[in-house]
Chains A and B, each alone.
Chain A
Amino acid sequence: MSTISSKPAPMEQPWVLPSRGRVGMFSLIAAELAIFSIFVVAYLFYIGKSLTGPLPKDVLELPIFASVCLLSSSLTIHAAVSALRKGKVGAFSMWWFATMVLGLIFLGETAREWYHLIFEKGLTISTNLFGTTYYSLVGLHAFHVTVGLICISIAMILTLRGKVKQEHGERAEVFSLYWHFVDGVWIVVFTVVYVIGR
């Protein structure tokens, strides 16, 4: 069968290909970007086309605190990954925990905002076009934060049980790509929903 391998030719240089985890994650991010772009386009297209209120300028407030938390979680996860790369599991678990807390604060802030909009302002997904596009775009992002937090929690539990070691550095890094992507998308969502759309 493998007649080819019967006389292996000496290779001039070592044969190194990119890691499959990174390539897979970048591909997933490309697909996710396409999904988000469609929702962003829909949001931009429907700005100012709602037939009834409430309108964004009446009900939306800038979520500065939540945004600061989410964006700084990119820094903490980066610190966590580079700590794990160096084998400092203690520092890793601290930074990783900080990431988790920051992500949870962000989700909590989103929940508070939605509670305010639904119960105090009477805006739901079926109220008007603003409600439709707002809840779906912000909700899609919040869903991605939730998925990320589930992954972070699983890794946190494994860390507390002493299962995470230096050799898992690459896996943590591949996950951190996803987390950075979720943070990056938030900048777009923030700009579209709270700056342009207001």
Chain B
Amino acid sequence: MASETIALAAAHDVPQPIGTILHDWVTTVDHKKLGILYILYALIFLVIGGIEATIMRIQLIVPHNDFVSPQVFNRMFTMHGTTMIFFVAMPILFGFGNYLIPLMIGARDMAFPRLNAWSFWLTAFGGMLLYFSFIGGNGLYGAGTAPDVGWFAYAPLTATAFSLGHSTDFWTLGLLVSGFGSIGTAINILATIICLRCPGMTLGKMPLLVWLNLVMAAMVLLAISPLTAAQMMLSLDRFLGAHFFDTLAGGSAVMWMHFFWIFGHPEVYVLVIPAFAFASEIIPVFSRKPIFGYPVMVAATICIGFVGFSVWAHHMFTVGMNSYANSFFTITTMAIGVPTGIKIFNWIGTMWGGKIVFKTPMLFCIAFLFQFLIAGLTGIMLSAAPFDWQLGNSYFVVAHFHYVIVGGILFTLFGAFYYWFPKMSGRMYNETLGKLHFWLFLIGFHLTFDFMHVPGLLGMPRRIYTYEPGRGWDIWNLICTIGVFFQIAGTAVFVGNLLWSYFKGKAAGNDPWDAWTLEWSTSSPPVEYNFARIPIVKSRRPLWDIKHPEDPDWKYE
């Protein structure tokens, strides 16, 4: 077996002309290459979205600043939000899912490899379409460049009367196209997990990452589709003069809000469930203990999947709903804290009594536990409708959801990068630089987003491009902006570490973490067909069974 692999690996080492390599990448249907394409594509957009955030923070560093004009500021927050959700978070999570799911379930590829490539290129094309608005968004009227309607694009801002030119068209078409890509990937993930598991891997023996991605894919099907439908309606309004969101013709602006948030809130769980998945793989390995409460983790995830679809209107408390709707959405929003809390207890239970190894991936996951807890607590505060009436659309809300998305999702993503980098590249990252990245980013994150809660409590609304001095907001905004530069430094160390390690890092070997799931049984990086022979598993930790034949897991499960 080993000799076969080596012979094939040697064949791959023959240097090829750059044209052939590019052609290979563009026409590939291999889930690993597509996964890496997704991840690289998302990393580029992460930098772009980060630059847009930095521009906003520089503008807000002191009162009455004029670093950018109000028009540019509007474009920046719209593009920042849209980019980070649709062209960073979604593709990067799909990328990891694409790369890891077939390896973890002992399959040779996804269920529909060509659909996989199609989905990736649709997503990529959607992102390019959105960013083409910077040059193409002028339209015939010369008004506006990039979209400036906010990432949730409330009607009537998107009506042709208020959004001249084509900037909003690029926004809606970009999201429509990438939405089809997301639906394709979700179908692929579901079919892969249900139909391609290796012999012995019953549903109860799948790694948690696979389980959580299964729930995520099901949620994508039911959450992205409403957005797709709403974007079709918006396109009909803008291109054919339909009246879905046209209040002058009797249409309803509030209906857009419902349609957007019935996508928008489940989307948060679509993003955070894969983050939970990374934590559920990394924490056990670095605690040297199997995951605590596997069945409860699965049940809690499915529970989040269901309840996640009945909380959307908590984004609309300030719009004005009747008291029954307010009560319903307050209660469901509070209730979703229960399964999420169960998960946090299970991760702590996994670490409890474990022999914890404080490598970079684990550090990011531990920070995630603390930060996600705080994010959840401010979420419970905001779920109470009267409290939300006071703080809705303030910087408190901005701080809350960045705590979820940066403190929760991005931190576990960084952990996942360090954890699976040896598998994807075949080389070890630099641990010192990894720790430096962690501490810089941790300090930057807390400087920015801890202190961002305060101006929110003091009444600073989101999306304002400048503010009066003497309202008590100045110092907090200054601290927030200083934190951004720590985050930039951390990200620079991260990118530098990846690049340096890719070319100069030590060889990682197949299983640098002494881990237990199937991807670590393949070579690093895995060969195109993943497994020369399809493995047969008997427990949740197949590699543990191999390494410890005297005390295998399947005796106890």
Binds B, one of A13-21, A68-76, A84-92, A161-169: A13-21
A107-138 vs B, Cβ < 8 Å mask (1 yes, 0 no): 00000000000000000011011011101100
Instruction: Find the B residue at minimum CB distance from A10.
Output: B536
Q: Is B386 an interface residue (CB 8 A)?
A: no
Q: Is B310 an interface residue (CB 8 A)?
A: no
Write out the residue numbers on chain A whose beta carbons fall within 8 Å of the beta carbon of B225.
31-35, 38
Instruction: Find the A residue at minimum CB distance from B222.
Output: A34
A4 contacts B542, C-beta separation under 8 Å: yes
A2 contacts B521, C-beta separation under 8 Å: yes
A15, A24, A31, A36: residue with the most chain B Cβ atoms closer than 10 Å? A31
Q: Is B345 an interface residue (CB 8 A)?
A: no
B76: min CB distance to chain A, Å: 30
Known A1-B521, A31-B221: A17·B244 in contact at CB below 8 Å: no
Write out the residue numbers on chain A whose beta carbons fall within 8 Å of the beta carbon of B115.
24
**How many angstroms from the CA of A50 to the CA of B112 in the assembled complex?**
45
Q: Which of B183-212 contact A (CB under 8 A)?
A: 183, 186-188, 190-192, 194-197, 199-200
Known A1-B5, A1-B521, A132-B244: A24·B112 in contact at CB below 8 Å: yes
Contact of A11 among B200, B232, B533 (CB under 8 A): B200
Write out the residue numbers on chain B whose beta carbons fall within 8 Å of the beta carbon of A30.
218, 221-222
A10: min CB distance to chain B, Å: 10
B376-414 vs A, Cβ < 8 Å mask (1 yes, 0 no): 000000000000000000000000000000000000000
Q: Is B7 an interface residue (CB 8 A)?
A: no
B194, B532, B537, B543: residue with the most chain A Cβ atoms closer than 10 Å? B194
Write out the residue numbers on chain B whose beta carbons fall within 8 Å of the beta carbon of A19.
195
Write out the residue numbers on chain A whose beta carbons fall within 8 Å of the beta carbon of B510.
1
Q: Which of A134-157 contact B (CB under 8 A)?
A: 135-136, 140
Write out the residue numbers on chain B whose beta carbons fall within 8 Å of the beta carbon of A135.
242
Q: Is B249 an interface residue (CB 8 A)?
A: yes
A15 contacts B200, C-beta separation under 8 Å: yes
Contact of B243 among A33, A38, A128 (CB under 8 A): A128
Contact of B186 among A11, A31, A42 (CB under 8 A): A31
Write out the residue numbers on chain B whose beta carbons fall within 8 Å of the beta carbon of A49.
250
Q: Is B499 an interface residue (CB 8 A)?
A: no
Write out the residue numbers on chain A whose beta carbons fall within 8 Å of the beta carbon of B533.
2, 5
A132 contacts B242, C-beta separation under 8 Å: yes
**How many angstroms from the CA of A135 to the CA of B236 in the assembled complex?**
10
Q: Is A195 an interface residue (CB 8 A)?
A: no
Known A27-B190, A31-B186, A132-B243: A11·B536 in contact at CB below 8 Å: yes
Write out the residue numbers on chain B whose beta carbons fall within 8 Å of the beta carbon of A3.
1, 521, 546
Q: Is A196 an interface residue (CB 8 A)?
A: no
Q: Is B484 an interface residue (CB 8 A)?
A: no
B191: min CB distance to chain A, Å: 4
Write out the residue numbers on chain B whose beta carbons fall within 8 Å of the beta carbon of A2.
1, 521-522, 531-533, 535
B512-542 vs A, Cβ < 8 Å mask (1 yes, 0 no): 0000001001110001000111111110001
A127: min CB distance to chain B, Å: 9
Binds A, one of B92-100, B125-133, B251-259, B293-301: B251-259
Q: Chain B contact residues: over half helix, strand or loop, or mixed?
A: helix
Count A-B contacts at CB 8 Å: 152
Instruction: Find the B residue at minimum CB distance from A17.
Output: B195
Known A1-B5, A3-B546, A19-B195: A136·B232 in contact at CB below 8 Å: yes
Q: Is A194 an interface residue (CB 8 A)?
A: no
A1 contacts B542, C-beta separation under 8 Å: no
B243 contacts A126, C-beta separation under 8 Å: yes
**How many angstroms from the CA of A98 to the CA of B249 in the assembled complex?**
44
A20 contacts B532, C-beta separation under 8 Å: no
Instruction: Find the B residue at minimum CB distance from A8.
Output: B536
A28-51 vs B, Cβ < 8 Å mask (1 yes, 0 no): 101111111111001001100111
Q: Is A160 an interface residue (CB 8 A)?
A: no
Q: Is A64 an interface residue (CB 8 A)?
A: no
B233 contacts A136, C-beta separation under 8 Å: yes
**How many angstroms from the CA of A4 to the CA of B543 in the assembled complex?**
8
**How many angstroms from the CA of A15 to the CA of B535 in the assembled complex?**
13
Contact of B199 among A15, A46, A50 (CB under 8 A): A15
Q: Is B230 an interface residue (CB 8 A)?
A: yes
**How many angstroms from the CA of A6 to the CA of B535 in the assembled complex?**
9
B221 contacts A38, C-beta separation under 8 Å: no
Q: Is B272 an interface residue (CB 8 A)?
A: no
A125 contacts B249, C-beta separation under 8 Å: no
Instruction: Find the B residue at minimum CB distance from A140.
Output: B232
Known A1-B523, A27-B187, A129-B249: A42·B244 in contact at CB below 8 Å: yes
B477: min CB distance to chain A, Å: 39
Write out the residue numbers on chain A whose beta carbons fall within 8 Å of the beta carbon of B443.
none
A90: min CB distance to chain B, Å: 32
Write out the residue numbers on chain B whose beta carbons fall within 8 Å of the beta carbon of A27.
186-187, 190-191, 217, 221
A45 contacts B252, C-beta separation under 8 Å: yes
A136 contacts B194, C-beta separation under 8 Å: no
Q: Is A188 an interface residue (CB 8 A)?
A: no
Q: Is B228 an interface residue (CB 8 A)?
A: yes
B491: min CB distance to chain A, Å: 34
B259 contacts A38, C-beta separation under 8 Å: yes
Q: Is B44 an interface residue (CB 8 A)?
A: no
Known A35-B226, A35-B229, A128-B249: A24·B2 in contact at CB below 8 Å: no
The 10 closest A-B pairs by CB, nearest first: A34-B225, A126-B241, A5-B533, A38-B229, A4-B535, A15-B199, A132-B242, A20-B195, A20-B111, A27-B187
- Chosen A-B contacts, 11 in total, with CB atoms closer than 8 Å, are A1-B510, A5-B533, A20-B112, A23-B111, A31-B187, A38-B259, A46-B250, A125-B236, A128-B250, A132-B243, A132-B244
Residues of B within 8 A of A (CB): 1-2, 5, 111-112, 115, 183, 186-188, 190-192, 194-197, 199-200, 217-218, 221-226, 228-230, 232-233, 236, 240-244, 249-252, 255, 259, 510, 518, 521-523, 527, 531-538, 542-543, 546
List 12 other contacts, CB 8 Å, given A5-B535, A38-B226, A42-B233: A1-B531, A20-B112, A20-B194, A31-B186, A31-B222, A34-B222, A34-B225, A38-B230, A50-B250, A128-B249, A132-B236, A135-B242
